[in-house]
Each structure stands twice: as C-alpha cells, then as structure tokens.
C-alpha cells in the first residue's frame, strides 16, 4: 500500500497508467484530502485498516469465539438504505434515461456535484480502490476504480470485489475503467446524490455512507452502468441469482433467476433440498447479479461479477437460509443489526428466543417487548462468498456457466400460478417485462396493488426501460440455443389468506420440474398462458403436506384474474411511450384475444 502525502503527486503510486494517475490527481485536487492511500488488497492491509476503523469507532469488534473476524458498523440514522429518489441517470438526451429513471443533464450534474466535492476531503484520507467485477482474466470482467474517503467502503469493497493489485495488473495501461468518486460529505440528506454518467463510464456519489449508495461496484457499476454497456456491447447485466443444480446421476444444470426484493431470492440461490431429494445438490454461483454473454457454442453463459454477499439480515435464520447463516459465521461486516450483551449479533427473525436485553442498531439499550425494532429492517451483512458451504466450484470460473433456464418470480397472492413455462423467447420476455409484486399497507397504505418491476430491474436499469426490453428481444438473434424461460410464484394464498405453497427447500420440487423441462424429460399441459405441470406427470409431491385440492389451487390459472391482470398491464406499457416494444404489446393483445375467446 503506497501513500501520497501531497495530493496530485503520483510518485509512489503502484501503477504507471497515465490515464489513471491523471484522473486520481485531478480528483484529489478537487477534494483536497490530507493524504492519498492506494489499496493493494493484501491481508496486511486488511488488518491495518480494520484496526484503524476500530480505533476510530467505525467498527465494533464482536465476540471472537462466536463471530471470529466479525465487526459491527452503525450508520447514521438518516442513511440506512438506497435513495432511489436521489439516484440519477445523467445522459445528454433525457429520453435515453427513460421514464422510470430520474434524469439530470450531465453538465448540470457535474457542476452541482463539483461544488459539493470541492474540499470535501480536507483532513481526510482519499483511498484509491482498484477493483475487478468478475473473475480476473475473464472476458466478462470489468475494472473499476473507486476513490473514497470512507474506510468502511474500503473494507466492504475488499469483500464484495476482487480488489487491489490484481485490478491494476488487469488494467495495465488501458484507460478503459469505470471512474467512481465517493465522499460521505456531512451525511446531510439535502446534499445526497448518486449520479451515473453512462456515456462517460463514471459514477459520482456524495453524502451517503450506506452500501447500496457507495459500494460503487455493486448496483451502480454492475447494473446501472453495466446494463448500458451491455446494450452497446451485446450482452446482459441482470439483477439475477445464478445456481447450479446437480441430480443424483451427476447432471448439472445452471439457472439464472430474477426476483424483486422480499421474494426469496437469496434463499433460492442457497437452497437446501428437502430430505426427499437425497442425492440432489444445489450450489450457489451468485446470489444477486448475473452478467451474461453469448458463448462460441451459441449458448448464454453467465458469471457472478461479485465476490461476496451484501444481504438483508432480518428474516434470515437456519430455517429460511441455513447456508446464509453459515456464511456470516466469520469474517463478516454487519451493519445496523442489534448486539447481544456477550458481543454477538441479533436481528428480528433470527433463531431462538428473543433476548431479554440488547443494544439496538443505534447503540441504545433495548428490552424484549419494545415496540421498536432492535435491528434496522434494512440491516445488512457483508460476507465473503467463500464462507458459503454451498458455493459452486464454478463461482470464479473466468468463462462462467452455461444458462439452461431463466426464471422470473414476483410476489402475488393470486393470478400467477406456482410455475409456468413460456411458449418461446418473446413470450418469456413478456413474462419478465410484466412481473411484479403486491404492495403492503406498510409500504404504500394500500394492500394488493401490483408494482411492476420488469426483470426485477426497475431501480437498476441505466437507460430507457423500453430500449432495455427491446435489447432482450434482440438478443435472441445471437443466441442459437436460448435458455427456456419460466415464471414462478411462491406466494399464492388461499381464501383465508394463508400461503398455500410451503416454499424454502420445497421450492426444489419446482426447480426439478424446470430442469426436467429443460432436458425434455416430462410432458406438460398447454394452457392459454403457457405450459404448466401435468397432474399425472408433474411436480414431485412425495412427503409434501399438501392436499390435492391445495396443489390444484396453487397451480391453477383463473381466466377472470388474468383478464384483469392483462388490463392492468396497459398502464405500464403506456408509460414506455413509443419505445414500448411492439413484439410485447402484440403478445399482450394476443393473450387478451385468446382469453376473450
């Protein structure tokens, strides 16, 4: 790790890359740090920075017997989540950003943020964080460099990315790298902006310390900038998990799946099959993001560009996700969870009884029965993917894995059946484009309102959503052997409002059917809306406590509900204006016609 005492002097920097050195010098002259530190990603650096963070009160050591190598961070109470309303796509033409993004003209954004960044690091350290999204040497991988004044960001980035010397070696003398500038500023929400400049491959983030706003390799580069690059370079950057499922006969099938928040995405990525599936194995390639390209064999290949998990803590337990619980057992950074008297962590939904006393996420005493949450509802863990007992041996393969199935899943109490296979690629893109989840009273004041979230990308698409959907349609031309596309819904309810399907590990039963469909091993029943499991050769229900009537209910397609659904989709397509892909609007009209007949 080389340090520069005077901003702008690059003599001890561990690189000779002229564009990188010039950019670091220019940004340091703007922000005026006391010193510059180039991060190398070494174990010695991790120890030194961790000790510094503890000394400065940024990290709190946890019980080394219960949580070896683990620390707790408490953020400012006004800075605990992504700020979608302060996240901007800055393109020259407003229409390129589209109606689902906040837009700011690039020159205006640079002017506004230059004023904020001016002198923002006086008395602070500017850390230069070179990192790779993707395995080193992979044709999928992208290099980024984040300049930050937050030691918390540095320690999180070394978990979430391949950070340090490896990134500088991969970059060499090239000027092709994402330029990320971040300062916590004074954490004033009135001066908080996360601005993406897709045409410049640049991200500026000011006024926040929360991971989703400041770990610039994650949503910012991997999805918002990544989706823009993917459109221009002919690949897909998606908010998708990747898993491999291996049958007892040794056949491994790789699946990518998109789920909006609170729809069981991480649970599915780390699923443990039920006892009836002895000999089956599910392994995690990635839990959140997939970069997919067409391989020389005409199949769609995918990598997980990340190296760690930035997961939501509340609700995670040994029933919902035992592999996630194992993943956070060591070398993990926890953010805004509660702490037990003996120095362990706790959150709502964790295993065991609620402790009598805790220190809550803001550092205040908390007692059982308190109306306030002990852990923030969006509290997080940052854990290395190597901690996952179910980690796929292909998780760091530079060539990625071949995707045989793509799954879209929302959270719907009715209408959408347990599983449905699309008729073809275009129909599958339609299913992904119109997916969504029902709101809760806590979120909107209204229950059961469907919020459309195309491909689970609504907050993360870096350009016009209509162009994004057209890009999906256009990709078929270059994929000689496209994946089969499916829609799932774990959350269908009965008349009393109870979930019909047990979920969790039993989702393996649906996954097995999908795998069998991919390999052409089981027949289906054709419906107006897609192919569904046949009652006689469909889902494996051995050992499942579910009546025939309940199974029929959770897999049923009710025409009246779908007529309403298709009518309600009209608002979404209208919002895309003239960029709504004609192929998708025709799909909708065709289904309306078929249902009407």
Predicted confidence at residue 7, as pLDDT, reads 44
Q: Is 39 a catalytic residue?
A: no
Whole-number Cα distances in Å, 454 to 101, 461, 484, 573: 13, 10, 18, 11
Q: Are 103 and 88 in contact (CB under 8 A)?
A: yes
Q: Are 206 and 113 in contact (CB under 8 A)?
A: yes
Q: Is 298 left (phi over 0), alpha (psi -120 to 50) or beta?
A: left
- For 207, the token pair is 């006024």
Predicted confidence at residue 597, as pLDDT, reads 60
Is 262 marked within a binding site? Answer: yes
Is 504 marked within a binding site? Answer: yes
Set 39, 90, 195, 263: catalytic member: 263
Q: Between β-strands 71-73 and 333-335, what pairing exists: parallel, antiparallel or unpaired? A: parallel
Is 40 marked within a binding site? Answer: no
Predicted confidence at residue 156, as pLDDT, reads 98
Predicted confidence at residue 9, as pLDDT, reads 42
| Of 71, 94, 597, 154, residue with least CA distance to 380 | 71
Proportion of the chain above pLDDT 90, given as a percent: 93
- For 326, the token pair is 């194992």
Is 448 marked within a binding site? Answer: no
DSSP 59-84: -EE--TTTSTT-EEE---TT--S--G
Q: Cα 164 from chain centroid?
A: 23
Q: Which residues of the chain have pLDDT under 70?
A: 1-11, 440-448, 597
Neighbours of 485 (CB within 10 A): 23
Give every CB contact of residue 446 below 8 A, 6+ residues apart in sequence. 439
φ/ψ of 161, rounded to 5, equals -135, 170
Is 211 marked within a binding site? Answer: yes
Q: Please give the Cα distance from 220 to 203 (Å, whole number).
A: 7
Is 411 marked within a binding site? Answer: yes
Is 123 marked within a binding site? Answer: no
Give every CB contact of residue 66 below 8 A, 6+ residues apart in sequence. 342, 343, 344
Is 349 marked within a binding site? Answer: no
Please name the residue ranges forming H helices in 445-531.
465-475, 507-518
End-to-end CA distance of the chain: 70
Is 321 marked within a binding site? Answer: no
Is 119 marked within a binding site? Answer: no
Is 76 marked within a binding site? Answer: no
Q: Cα 183 from chain centroid?
A: 23
Give every CB contact of residue 42 below 8 A, 6+ residues apart in sequence. 1, 164, 165
Is 424 marked within a binding site? Answer: no
Q: Please give the Cα distance from 503 to 324 (Å, whole number).
A: 16
Q: Please give the Cα distance from 195 to 213 (Å, whole number).
A: 10
Predicted confidence at residue 440, as pLDDT, reads 54
Is 286 marked within a binding site? Answer: no
Residue burial 248-258, b: 16+ Cβ < 10 Å; e: rest: eeeebbbbbbb
Is 507 marked within a binding site? Answer: yes
DSSP 461: -
Please name the residue ranges forming H helices in 130-197.
151-160, 165-171
Q: Are 416 and 566 in contact (CB under 8 A)?
A: no
- For 487, the enclosing helix (H) or strand (E) is strand 484-488
Q: Please give the Cα distance from 179 to 21 (Å, whole number).
A: 12
Q: Please give the Cα distance from 161 to 128 (Å, whole number).
A: 14
Q: At what angle do helices 226-233 and 465-475 cross, to 10 degrees?
A: 40
- Name the strands in the sheet holding 380-384, side by side, starting at the edge strand that comes first in the sequence: 60-61, 71-73, 333-335, 380-384, 308-312
Give every CB contact of residue 271 below 8 A, 6+ residues apart in sequence. 243, 282, 504, 505, 507, 508, 511
Q: Please give the Cα distance from 232 to 250 (Å, whole number).
A: 38
Is 364 marked within a binding site? Answer: no
Is 210 marked within a binding site? Answer: yes
Predicted confidence at residue 387, as pLDDT, reads 98
Q: Please give the Cα distance from 63 to 76 (Å, whole number).
A: 23
Predicted confidence at residue 110, as pLDDT, reads 98
Is 379 marked within a binding site? Answer: yes
3-state DSSP assignment of residue 355: coil
The domains found in the chain, sorted by start residue, are 3-59+84-233 (3.40.449.10), 238-307+392-596 (3.90.228.20), 310-387 (2.170.8.10)
- The torsion of the CA quartet 532, 533, 536, 540, rounded to 10 degrees, works out to -160
Give every CB contact of residue 144 below 8 A, 6+ residues apart in sequence. 130, 131, 132, 133, 161, 167, 177, 178, 179, 180, 216, 217, 221
Give every CB contact of residue 228 below 8 A, 6+ residues apart in sequence. 198, 462, 463
DSSP 288: S
Please name the residue ranges forming H helices in 62-203.
94-97, 106-117, 151-160, 165-171
Is 138 marked within a binding site? Answer: no
Burial of 24 (0-12, 13-18, 19+ CB in 10 A): buried
- For 377, the enclosing helix (H) or strand (E) is none
């Amino acid at each position: 790790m080389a340090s520069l005492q005077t901003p702008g002097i690059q003599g001890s920097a561990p690189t000779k890359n002229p564009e990188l050195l010039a950019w670091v010098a220019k940004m340091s002259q703007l922000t005026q740090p006391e010193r510059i530190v180039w991060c190398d990603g070494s174990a010695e650096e991790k120890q030194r920075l961790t000790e510094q963070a503890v000394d400065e009160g940024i990290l709190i050591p946890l019980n080394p017997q219960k949580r070896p190598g683990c620390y707790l961070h408490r953020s400012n109470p006004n800075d605990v989540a992504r700020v979608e309303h302060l996240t901007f796509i800055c393109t020259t033409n407003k229409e390129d950003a589209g109606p689902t993004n906040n837009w700011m003209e690039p020159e205006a954004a640079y002017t506004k943020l230059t004023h904020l960044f001016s002198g923002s690091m006086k008395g602070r350290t500017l850390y230069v964080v070179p990192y790779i999204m993707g395995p080193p040497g992979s044709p999928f991988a992208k290099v980024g460099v984040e300049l930050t004044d937050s030691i918390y960001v540095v320690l999180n980035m070394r978990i979430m990315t391949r950070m340090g010397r490896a990134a500088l070696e991969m970059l060499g003398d090239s000027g092709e790298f994402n330029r990320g500038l971040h300062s916590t500023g004074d954490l004033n929400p009135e001066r908080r902006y996360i601005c993406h400049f897709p045409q410049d491959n640049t991200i500026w983030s000011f006024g926040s310390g929360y991971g989703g706003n400041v770990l610039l390799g994650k949503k910012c580069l991997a999805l918002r900038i990544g989706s823009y690059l993917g459109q221009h370079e002919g690949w897909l950057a998606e908010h998708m998990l990747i898993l491999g499922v291996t049958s007892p006969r040794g056949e491994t099938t790789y699946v990518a799946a998109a789920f909006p928040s609170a729809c069981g995405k991480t649970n599915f990525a780390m699923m443990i099959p039920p006892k009836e599936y002895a000999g089956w194995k599910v392994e995690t390639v990635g839990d959140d993001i997939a970069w997919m390209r067409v391989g020389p064999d005409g199949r769609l290949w995918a990598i997980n560009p990340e190296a760690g998990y930035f997961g939501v803590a509340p609700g995670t337990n040994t029933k919902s996700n035992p592999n996630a619980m194992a993943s956070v057992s060591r070398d993990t950074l926890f953010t805004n969870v509660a702490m037990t008297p003996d120095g362990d962590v706790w959150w709502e939904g964790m295993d065991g009884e609620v402790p009598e006393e805790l220190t809550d996420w803001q550092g205040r005493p908390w007692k059982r029965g308190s109306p306030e949450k002990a852990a923030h509802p969006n509290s997080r863990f940052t854990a290395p993917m190597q901690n996952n007992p179910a980690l796929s041996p292909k998780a760091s393969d530079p060539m990625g894995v071949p995707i045989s199935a793509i799954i879209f899943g929302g959270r719907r109490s009715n209408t959408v059946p347990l599983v449905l296979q699309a008729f073809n690629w275009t129909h599958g893109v339609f299913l992904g484009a119109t997916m969504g989840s029902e709101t809760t009273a806590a979120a909107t004041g209204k229950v059961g309102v469907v919020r459309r979230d195309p491909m689970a990308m609504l907050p993360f698409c870096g350009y016009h959503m209509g162009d994004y959907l057209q890009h999906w349609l256009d990709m078929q031309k270059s994929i000689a052997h496209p994946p089969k596309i499916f829609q799932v819904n774990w959350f269908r309810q009965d008349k009393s409002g109870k979930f019909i399907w047990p979920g969790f590990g039993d989702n393996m039963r649906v996954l097995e059917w999908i795998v069998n469909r991919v390999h052409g091993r089981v027949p289906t029943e054709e419906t107006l809306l897609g192919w569904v499991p046949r009652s006689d050769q469909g889902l494996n229900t051995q050992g499942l406590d579910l009546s025939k009537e309940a199974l029929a209910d959770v897999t049923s397609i009710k025409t009246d509900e779908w007529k309403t659904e298709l009518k309600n989709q009209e608002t979404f397509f209208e919002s895309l204006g003239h960029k709504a892909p004609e192929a998708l609007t025709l799909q909708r009209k065709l289904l309306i016609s078929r249902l009407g007949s």
